[in-house]
Chain A
Amino acid sequence: MTLIETRALSKSYRGNLAVDAVDFDIAEGEVHALLGENGAGKSTLTKMIAGVVPPSSGEILLDGKPVTFDGPADALKQGIAMVFQETSLVPSMTVAQNLYLGDEKFLNRLRGVAISAQQFLQSLNFTVDPTATVATLGAAKRQMVEIARAVRLKARIIIFDEPTATLTPEEKRHFFALVRRLKERKVAVIFISHALEEALQISDRITVMRDGARVVTDVTANFTRETIVRAMVGRTLAGSDAARKTTVRPVGDKVLSVQDLSMGAIVKNTSFSIFAGQITGLFGLVGSGRTETAKIIAGVMKRDFNRGGEVALDGKPVRYNTPRPAMQDGIVYVTEDRKLEGFFETMSIAENLYSGHLAAGENKIPVVSWAEMTRLAESWSRTLNIRAINPDARVVELSGGNQQKVVIGKGLVQKPRLVIFDEPTRGVDVAAIAEIHHLIEKLADDGLAVVVISSYLPEILKLSDRILVCRQGRVVEEFSPLDASEERIMYASVH
């Protein structure tokens, strides 16, 4: 019996269509895998189903009746729960407290809560200690608690967004067993994943999305890895061929050598090298550890204390605990989340650029030099073509493209030797994309070592002199853009 159905469901953000008239349905006790590239619209579709974002048009039918949700809490009341990668549990509370959070009795006894939580978890056959503090649990157990909470609230549809990305193999086994138990209880499961193997293993039906639209829905038995990959990337082969590189820059000096780098379950024994005068494209799907790897190199994150591997800059081992020493050694990381990590939004362009100058330890005396700040702002605004209504404009008032240029400028002010761009054109308009691409090319032409992390394959193919593919926390394949194809890269990233 069909539990939920969407009809021509669409969502647009400022005119950009994220989900385009998608018809989707799921039946009772069904596991439905939702696959697609990054940005294919999977998360947006499920967020609309879970009431997290309202649809722009189209309708959602629950048990055959049209419904609208006021928010996720409302959707949950009607039996739809979504489990995000970052769980919404309170880490300092126990499992039992989290299970009954917001539903406590007036006179609440911890022991009573723990006992009823224990009984409930046992009924689900979940082996989690109800008295354990959530912060002490592993990722899989946290997900168990999250799921238990959804089931306790009578969720009939549970949506998992990349549930296995951060799990260890052992934890994944637990998770799959858990999904099967949910299925036995007639709970419908929507499963978003980049791991095709898992989707083929666990789902009853598969829907592949591309560029916001549904490409194909069929029973899992009718799919193979190859047909899924083809459906995932099929769209722009002709377009990317037009932008295909015909020459690559020669290999320069080895600037960075990463050997057996490890960080928890996210980065696992990854090894690769970065060379001067080249653009190295780093492609990988969500959860492949590419951003985390870049952040470890730049000192934003720390590798494992024990056997965390080695990072060598110009042959000399380095270990950065904060970004500042990395910047001083000439490593700049241009973040993918510019709003959160990229700039000070209420400060002006000049102040933001100057903050990069300060971070690199360029000012010799601890006094802000307004003259230097103005000079930097003028020179970099011209170089990067940053367009603002007035020079004192706050960065928050700029367009996405200009904001990104400020973030890039803030990095380049530091006179780096290695620049890591993480999704440099995400949320940037077409004209600015061309400018940013041109800038990245110029940096490599000037002899800098450049790394571009991107989820957009045509961008990787267009910019890169060599392409590294990450999968499950490590670099698994290297391609030359001269002989790579979208399908081959995607194949490497999912197998």
Chain B
Amino acid sequence: MWWDALLDPFRGKAVTIPPMDGAFRPNTLLETAETFAEVAHPEALLVYEGRLLVASGADLLAFPLEGGAPTLFRRFETTISALGAFPDGGLAIALVAGEIRFLGGRFDGRVITEVAGRRIHAPTALATAGEGVVYVADGSARFAADDWQSDLMAHGASGAVLRLDLAEGEGRILADGLAWPAGLLVEPDRSVIVSEASRHRLLRITGDGRSKPQPVLSNLPGYPARLARATTGGIWLTLMAPRNRLVELVLTERAYREDMVATVPRDLWIAPQMSSGNSFLEPLQCGGVVTMGVRKPWAPGRSYGLIARLDDHFRPISSLHSRADGRRHGIKDMVEIGGVLFAASRGGNAVLEIETGAA
């Protein structure tokens, strides 16, 4: 009714969170998945020359796909935030310091810190397309790639998607004003699907970046991150943390938030985290989440493990979970090869191995 628009301001501000139902119906598939390797804070995964590359802090580790001890592929000065590979065997490595480095292949040794006049601040995801074309998700113009929580608490919307053609030496800003773009997927028509984490949605950006980005999936129950194509059709999407009513409330309370950010250690903020339940100092949420020392699976936690399977139209069709009482939280990246999905659980300090028939 037309008068609802007039009445709405008096109805109170309700922040609602979509329920985890339908395709997001909770299960324990991530929690019960095999551990492929125990790795400290795995951030990004890539299948490269028959090996699984895992970014762990400043180290790039290479694991045989059939399992076994890793070898150190390369050590960098700062933390690695994203990985990408070119068809010619070259690697693109994003560092938290705001650099994209290229290893091997035609562009070996190049370092990029700026695209089309924009300094790269927070490279959160990389995607390659064809010879020398790389797309960069720059999470924020203010915070580093490992400081998403700060950007969220500041209501940041300064992220951008950049396109760089190394062969031609051309760079372009495809979209900006994004709230922490954290994942990229290049479509066959050269449009780019971007996960905009802090606005809980996926956007489509046209290849030339001239049209306004269009949402393809909105109102997700968590903060979306990396995207990857599934081998049997469809798309994998990681959601690095769950949405939570308390966090949503804090996001509406500016003074409280500023005070919290200024005075409380970051791990104890009322904010989404990659893992939780590690300290009694952590904020309890909504009460009753722990009974007799046992954390309830339905507790509104600050961290969660979630990978969603989307169909070709970006509709969620199934999902894999590690619930509030689990440990495999903060899924930052995943890659599927040979019917096996590898998932990097940053909070769980592990790379998981899931038969994709399970999803």
Residues of A participating in the B interface, judged by any CB pair closer than 8 Å: 250-254, 257, 259-260, 271-273, 275, 305-310, 315, 319, 321, 325, 466, 468, 475, 478, 480
Q: Which residues of A contact B7 (CB under 8 A)?
A: 305
- The answer to whether B22 touches A307 (Cβ under 8 A) is no
Residues of B within 8 A of A (CB): 1, 4, 7, 10-12, 14, 16-19, 21-23, 25, 218-219, 315-317
Q: Does A260 contact B315, Cβ atoms closer than 8 Å? A: no
**Contact between A260 and B22, CB atoms less than 8 A apart:** no
Interface pair A305/B18, CB less than 8 Å apart: no
B218 touches A271 (CB 8 A): no
9 residue pairs, one from A and one from B, having the closest CB atoms: A259-B16, A271-B19, A260-B16, A307-B12, A306-B12, A310-B16, A273-B22, A478-B25, A478-B21
- Bound-state CA distance A69–B273 (Å) is 67
Contact of A272 among B11, B16, B21, B23 (CB under 8 A): B21
Query: How far is the CB of A317 from the nearest CB of chain B, in Å?
Result: 9
Known: A251-B22, A319-B4, A466-B22. A309 touches B16 (CB 8 A): yes
Contact B11 A259 (CB under 8 A): no
Q: What CA separation (Å) do A226 and B334 show in the bound complex?
A: 42
Instruction: Tally the A-B contacts, defined by beta carbons under 8 Å.
Output: 61
Q: Could you tell me the distance between the alpha carbons of A480 and B318 in the complex, rounded to whole angstroms? A: 12
Chain A residues whose CB sits within 8 angstroms of the CB of B22 once the complex forms: 251, 254, 273, 275, 466
B17 proximity list for chain A (CB < 8 A): 259-260, 271
List 19 A-B residue pairs with CB atoms under 8 Å apart, sorted by A's residue number.
A254-B22, A257-B18, A260-B16, A271-B16, A271-B17, A271-B18, A273-B21, A273-B22, A305-B7, A307-B14, A309-B16, A310-B14, A315-B218, A319-B4, A325-B1, A466-B21, A466-B22, A478-B21, A478-B25
Instruction: Provide the residues of chain A in CB contact with B19, threshold 8 Å.
Output: 259, 271-273, 475
Give every chain B residue within 8 A of A309 (Cβ-Cβ).
Answer: 14, 16
Decide if A253 touches B25 in the complex (CB within 8 Å). Answer: no
Give chain A nearest CB distance to B91 CB in angstroms.
37
Q: Could you tell me the distance between the alpha carbons of A272 and B21 in the complex, rounded to whole angstroms?
A: 6
CB-based nearest A residue for B23:
A251
Query: Is A480 a contact partner of B25 (Cβ separation < 8 A)?
Result: yes
Contact of A257 among B12, B14, B219, B315 (CB under 8 A): B219
A251 partner residues in chain B, CB cutoff 8 A: 22-23, 315-317
Q: Are A306 and B21 in contact (CB-based, < 8 A)?
A: no
CA distance A466 to B19 in the complex (A): 15
A residues near B4, Cβ cutoff 8 Å:
319
Chain B: minimal CB distance from A271 (Å): 4
List residues of chain A with CB within 8 A of the CB of B1: 319, 321, 325
Nearest B residue (CB) for A257: B18
CB of B22 to closest CB in A, whole Å: 5
Q: CA–CA, A308 to B8, complex, Å?
A: 11
Most chain A CB inside 10 Å of its own CB: which residue of B4, B11, B18, B22: B22
Residues on the B chain within 8 Å of A466, using CB: 21-22, 25
With a cutoff of 8 Å between Cβ atoms, the chain B residues found around residue A475 in the complex are 19, 21
20 more contacts with CB within 8 A, not counting A259-B18, A260-B17, are A251-B316, A254-B315, A259-B16, A260-B14, A271-B16, A271-B18, A271-B19, A273-B21, A273-B22, A275-B22, A305-B11, A306-B10, A307-B11, A307-B12, A309-B16, A310-B16, A319-B4, A468-B21, A478-B21, A478-B25
Bound Cα distance from A252 to B23, whole angstroms? 10
A312 CB to nearest B CB, Å: 8
In the bound complex, CA of A253 to CA of B314 (Å):
10
Write out the residue numbers on chain A whose beta carbons fall within 8 Å of the beta carbon of B11: 305-308
Min CB gap A265→B, angstroms? 18
Asked whether, in the complex, the Cβ of B219 is within 8 Å of the Cβ of A253, the reply is: no
A475 vs B21: C-alpha distance in the bound complex, in angstroms? 10
Which residue among B12, B19, B23 has the maximum number of chain A CB atoms within 10 Å of its CB?
B19
A283-B18 Cα distance, complex, nearest whole Å: 21
Taking A271-B18, A480-B25 as contacts, is the C-beta distance between A315 and B12 under 8 angstroms?
Answer: no
| Minimal beta-carbon separation of B236 from chain A (angstroms) | 16
Return the chain A residue nearest B13 by Cβ: A307
Cross-chain contact of A315 among B21, B25, B219 (Cβ < 8 A)? B219
State A251–B12 Cα separation when bound (angstroms): 33
In the bound complex, what is the Cα–Cα distance between A467 and B334 (angstroms)?
A: 30
Minimal Cβ-Cβ distance residue in A for B3: A321
Q: Which residues of B contact A273 (CB under 8 A)?
A: 18-19, 21-22
Min Cβ gap A421→B in Å is: 19
Q: B18 to chain A: which residues have CB within 8 Å? A: 257, 259, 271, 273
B-chain residues with CB within 8 Å of residue A308 when the two chains form the complex:
11, 14
- Given contacts A319-B1, A480-B25, whether A250 and B317 have CB atoms under 8 Å apart is yes
CB distance from A310 to the nearest CB of B (A): 5
How far, in Å, is B218 (CB) from chain A's closest CB? 6
Neighbouring B residues of A325 by C-beta, 8 Å: 1
What is the chain B residue whose CB lies nearest that of A259? B16
- A271 to chain B: which residues have CB within 8 Å? 16-19, 21
CB-based nearest B residue for A254: B22
Q: Which residue of B lies closest to A262 (CB)?
A: B14
A273 vs B21: C-alpha distance when bound (angstroms)? 7
